A = this chain, B = another copy of it.
Amino acid sequence: DIVDAALAVVRPNDLAGRRIVITAGGTREPLDPVRFIGNRSSGRQGIALAEAARDRGAHVTLLVAHLEVPPPRGVALVEVGTAAELSDAVAEHAAHADIVIMAAAVADYRPVEVADGKLKKEALGDELTVHLVANPDILRSLTSGTLTPHRPDGQVVVGFAAETEADDERFLQIGREKAARKGADLLVVNRVGWQLGFATESNTIVVLDRTGSIVGEAAGDKVSVAHRILDLLV
């Protein structure tokens, strides 16, 4: 429409030709064919990043897990379910990417056993114990070079951390420790909670570099926040 046309004129084409892989949504780890352990990521921030990057001229590949919103047009779409499937997709597509932005919420744990048929309450009784095991850390595997043997030289990796810590200082400290541990070039830290961060149109973020220094901050609708993140990558 007219607004889009006007924006297209003023919008920089500063990511023209860049190959960007973005992950969005939340992975799910099945317990059986019916039940799964999921997380509340809606995919909105990842999709806003994909749309913003596309509008700035990038070739975008979007790896999506269980979006609650429609995926954008004009990007290559790869659908995955579990953390293991997302890991495989990142390994494949990051091998040819200038920039990788890991905005999806990836399950830290998966059930040790996945039942072929629906678990029945009549057979299980009133209590059930589920044993979980940690999933590989996709972001850490990517930055350490163990995920994809042929990462392009100069590839920039952006990680995301959703934290519930309410105290500002401890929130930032958790982000700094994660920035050091994950090895991403940038780590976008945002606060989430029972009423905060998920399935909303707006977001508040702090961007840290690998040393934990704040290199950017943004608050507002997720598209504006997406452009502020991309501003740090051009």
Contacts and interface: CB of A to CB of B under 8 A. Distances in A.
Contact of A165 (B39, B117, B164): B117
Copies in the complex: 2
Interface in A64-114: 68, 105, 107-109
Contacts of A163: 118
A118 B162 contact: yes
Nearest to A114: B194
Contact of A121 (B125, B134, B164, B193): B134
A34 to B, nearest CB: 5
A165 B107 CA distance: 28
A127 B131 CA distance: 7
A40 interface: yes
Contacts of A165: 117
A147 interface: no
A192 B118 CA distance: 9
Contacts of A117: 164-165
Given A134-B121, A164-B118, A192 B33 contact: yes
Given A34-B40, A39-B34, A118-B164, A129 B127 contact: no
A200 to B, nearest CB: 14
Interface of A: 28, 31-40, 68, 105, 107-109, 116-119, 121, 125-134, 162-165, 192-194
